[in-house]
Structure 1
Amino acid sequence: MIARIWHATATPTGAEAYERHFTTAVLPELQDVAGHRGAYLLRRATGDHVELQVVTLWESLEAIKGFAGEDIDTAVVEPDARAALLTFGTTVTHHDVLAATPEH
């Protein structure tokens, strides 16, 4: 399994808007992509800003291409997401998942 990780920052209000976008637009899209194995939206308040990290799980690099296209290192950030964020990564990182707990 491969974890695809992306980060952004937002105001508290922007983070709420991004969470709505993630749950109503991104998650339904991901569920339709073959090889998608799960997703997490992480939030960390830091003073006046909020750090966001998105971790998506995939069965292979080929599966990631089904979502991101051929250039899998480029972040997929839709206009609605961009509007909610202060800053965002234009690239992502990919990590091999070496161990995980089984789903219950």
Structure 2
Amino acid sequence: MITRIWHGRTRSSDAERYLQFLHETGVRDYIATPGNREVKIWRKTEGDVTHFWTISVWDNLECIKAFAGEDIEKARYYPEDKDFLLEFEPTVQHYESFSIK
């Protein structure tokens, strides 16, 4: 399995609206893509800035390509992200992941 991690930052005053936006766009699209196993959102507020990480788990790199396009290292954004994000990080991280019970 492969874990994909994206990071973004918003103003803390926009954090609740951005969380809802993430659910309506990215999370919905992750879940709708075959081969997606799981999606989590991590959030941390530091004063006036709130960090978001989306962590998605995939069967393999081909499944990620179905979501992200051929260049899986490139971050995928939606037009409305410009209303929330403080910057646009150009890439995401991918890691092999293993479940241990």
TM-score, with length taken from structure 2: 0.90
Aligned-partner Cα distance in 2 for 1:31–1:99: 19
User: Displacement of 1:29 after TM fit?
Assistant: 1.8
TM-score, with length taken from structure 1: 0.88
User: Displacement of 1:44 after TM fit?
Assistant: 0.5
User: Displacement of 1:6 after TM fit?
Assistant: 0.8
User: Displacement of 1:82 after TM fit?
Assistant: 2.8
User: Displacement of 1:89 after TM fit?
Assistant: 1.5
Q: Percent identity?
A: 33
Aligned-partner Cα distance in 1 for 2:13–2:20: 11
Gap regions ≥5 residues in structure 1: none
User: Displacement of 1:64 after TM fit?
Assistant: 0.1
Does the 8 Å contact 1:14/1:85 carry over to 2?
A: no
> After the TM superposition, which parts of structure 1 deviate over 4 Å for at least 4 consecutive aligned residues?
none
Count of aligned positions: 101
Aligned-partner Cα distance in 1 for 2:17–2:36: 24
Gap regions ≥5 residues in structure 2: none
